[in-house]
């Protein structure tokens, strides 16, 4: 019978052994090169993980202040409508995704009562799974996008703020307000390094029953991810292309091939809509 010798206590158990990848860890928020203290993670990394987990939970459960967001958008010149989904509260929203995809009957009636003449693009702003993302990034992204739409002569409907919302709720809102295209700005499921990531979903001819394959998505919109100017340029390109051929899996994003994209990457703002 072989005996595995016990290594005994470390000379200094409080000493942190740094990982050889530490230099690479400076270039990403991903959890790499954490080091170790004895056989465990250093206390600093355990605390960082606990903080990130708490931030992700807060992003999911903190309610969106719809009135504050509406006031911000109205100050920027937008007409705003507030609605809610068929989910009665946050717990039901998390347990019943289907209810988050449909408007509450009262909210549907409210939109239909607008007797909208229709618009080219309707923006719906939903809380989704990160109210932090919506509250932080929806208004700046709209501000960066609207000049492109104005240059293209596209009409924009009132901004619809939706609580307890899933992506598909925008289809019903777009149908009620007779929009050619609907864009849902919604908080994405938070990760342990990105509790404030905003997702953008584009759907042509919105109506209840649209499938996810009939949408296009831009993900991780935030200063630490896809910055507002680049996201706005990409969204404007997709909107123009969708008006010509419809949205969905057949529509491929070609915005990065446009000269304006290179200019934005170089830090030079372009004032023209991508062709």
Containing 124, the helix (H) or strand (E) segment is strand 119-126
What is the residue-level pLDDT of the chain in tens, covering all 275 positions?
555 554 544 445 557 777 777 777 777 777 777 888 888 888 888 888 899 889 889 889 999 999 999 999 999 999 999 999 999 999 999 999 999 999 999 999 999 999 888 999 999 999 999 999 999 999 999 999 999 999 999 999 999 999 999 999 999 999 999 999 999 999 999 988 889 999 999 999 999 999 999 999 999 999 999 999 999 999 999 999 999 999 999 999 999 888 888 888 887 454 444 44
| Owner of token pair 């009135």 | 67
Looking at residue 11, its pLDDT comes to: 45
Whole-number Å distance between alpha carbons of 204 and 88: 28
Do 138 and 146 touch, CB atoms closer than 8 A? no
Is 125 annotated to bind ligand? no
Under CATH, what is the fold of the domain 65-252? Answer: Rossmann fold (3.40.50)
Whole-number Å distance between alpha carbons of 177 and 225: 32
Looking at residue 271, its pLDDT comes to: 44
- Which are the contacts of 91, defined by CB distance < 8 A and separation ≥ 6? none
Whole-number Å distance between alpha carbons of 162 and 131: 11
Whole-number Å distance between alpha carbons of 225 and 223: 5
Looking at residue 3, its pLDDT comes to: 53
Model pTM score: 0.86
Name the DSSP class of 254. Answer: -
Whole-number Å distance between alpha carbons of 180 and 240: 12
Is 214 annotated to bind ligand? no
Domain limits of the chain? 65-252
Compute how many other C-beta atoms are within 10 angstroms of the C-beta atom of residue 4: 5
Is 176 annotated to bind ligand? no
Taking Cα atoms as reference points, which of 123, 129, 119 lies closest to residue 64? 129
Helices 131-151 and 66-75: angle between axes, nearest 10 degrees: 20
CA dihedral 258, 261, 266, 268 (to 10 degrees): 100
Compute how many other C-beta atoms are within 10 angstroms of the C-beta atom of residue 2: 3
Backbone angles phi, psi at 256, to 5 degrees: -70, -15
């Amino acid at each position: 019978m072989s005996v595995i010798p016990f290594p005994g206590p470390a000379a200094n158990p409080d000493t942190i052994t740094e990982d050889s990848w530490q230099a690479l860890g400076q270039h990403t928020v991903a959890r790499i090169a954490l080091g170790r203290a004895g056989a465990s993670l250093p206390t600093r990394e355990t605390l960082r993980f606990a903080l990130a987990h708490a931030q992700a939970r807060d992003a999911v459960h903190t309610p969106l202040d719809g009135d504050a967001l509406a006031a911000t958008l109205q100050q920027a010149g937008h007409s705003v409508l507030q609605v809610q989904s068929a989910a009665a509260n946050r717990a039901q929203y998390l347990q019943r995704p289907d209810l988050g995809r449909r408007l509450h009957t009262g909210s549907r009636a409210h939109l239909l009562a607008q007797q909208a003449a229709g618009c080219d693009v309707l923006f719906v702003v939903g809380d989704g799974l990160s109210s932090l993302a919506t509250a932080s990034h929806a208004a700046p992204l709209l501000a960066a996008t609207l000049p492109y739409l104005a240059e293209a002569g596209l009409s924009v409907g009132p901004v619809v703020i939706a609580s307890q919302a899933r992506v598909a709720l925008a289809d019903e809102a777009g149908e009620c307000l007779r929009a050619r295209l609907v864009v849902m700005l919604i908080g994405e499921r938070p990760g342990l390094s990105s509790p404030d990531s905003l997702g953008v979903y584009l759907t042509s001819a919105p109506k209840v029953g649209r499938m996810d394959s009939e949408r296009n998505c831009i993900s991780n919109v935030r200063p630490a991810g896809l910055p507002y100017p680049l996201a706005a340029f990409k969204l404007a390109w997709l909107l123009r292309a969708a008006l010509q051929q419809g949205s969905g899996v057949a529509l491929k994003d070609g915005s990065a091939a446009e000269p304006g994209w290179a200019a934005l990457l170089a830090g030079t703002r372009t004032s023209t809509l991508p062709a």
